[in-house]
Amino acid sequence: MQLLNLDDSLTAQSSLRDAAPWDSVRTLDLRDLGPRLRLWSRVKTIALLRQRLNDAGDLPGPSITLIGSGDFHHLATLLMARAREPFTLIHFDNHPDWVRLAPRWHCGSWINQALKLPNVAKIITLGVCSDDLVRPDLKGGNLPALERGALDLYPWSHAPSKVWRRVADGPGRHFLDGHIHWQNLAEADLDQQLAAIIRQIPTETIWITIDKDVLAEEDVVTNWDQGQMRLPSLLRMIELIGAAKRILGADICGEYAAPNFSNALKRFEVRMDQPQRGDVAAMLKQNESVNRLLLATIQTAAGAR
């Protein structure tokens, strides 16, 4: 297991070290880069982080990395880039993170970087409830990736998405009357739907990436607007997918870290896009408990094959 200390959101979670029988546990202190990497980053800073990861070397066996706030989800691409064999990316998130209009290294656009990785055979996004699927064409959503089969998307619960042109039918969706009608995971038997999704995975190996904002606020508190999935459903999906496919690696983000930006553009983006949180101290311990369950479930699933 690996912790990237970018924002101090993980340092107090001391019990994570015994959440599973790890071969090794390490923490990389990256707080000097954290403010420059948070939300979005320049290519130069990404290069500095890539070098730090290279210097640290690979972890033994299937690697699981905790990244911190969902503001850093784009950094997961650097972890995936180290994979040495083809894999399918299983992406749990309340947001599709597929905006083509955002900066290259941005927590809302990183899926487009992952699609370029030579070992990524396909991406399957699960759990979206956010307004990113309201007029996704006008918001820069990567609908062409859906149409060419590089990306499948299954919301947890979302109304049909109005679009200005026809979008080809595919796994998890069909087009009717100017709208993309989604296959919502919350509306049918979860095990049966996961069985069908697993049949769409073209590789023997998978990488699991989780932003905990996919979960309802009753389960965790994050920096972003949150979805409606409950923790038992997320754990069940990990179990089912992990039982069918070999887990090559995994990463988890979605901690809460107090917004603190010297960059005026980042402060503006946070005010526009992120909900204002009150006293979250009571919830932070619950975040740790959720992390423990996620880590143990992934580790067990990884060792089952």
- pLDDT tens digits, 64-111: 999 999 999 999 999 999 999 999 999 999 999 999 987 789 999 999
∠ Cα 265 267 268 (to 5°): 65
d(CA 214, CA 234): 9
Give me the DSSP letters along 151-202.
EEEE-SS-PPEE-SS----BTTEEEETTEEEE--GGGS-HHHHHHHHHHT--
Q: Residue 108: its pLDDT value, please?
A: 94
Measured from the Cβ of residue 64, the count of other Cβ atoms closer than 10 Å reads 24
CATH number at residue 123: 3.40.800.10
- Give the orientation angle of helix 281-303 with respect to helix 231-244, to 10 degrees: 20
Q: What is the DSSP string of 68-85?
A: EEGGGGGGHHHHHTT--S
User: Which positions of the chain have pLDDT values less than 50?
Assistant: none
pLDDT of residue 278: 67
Is residue 157 within 8 Å of residue 187, measured between CB atoms?
yes
pLDDT tens digits along 229-266: 999 999 999 999 999 999 999 999 999 988 777 677 77
Please count the structural domains in the chain: 1
What residue numbers bound the domain in which 246 lies?
2-303
Dist CA 76 CA 78 (whole Å): 5
**Cα 280 from chain centroid (whole Å):** 22
Looking at residue 305, its pLDDT comes to 58
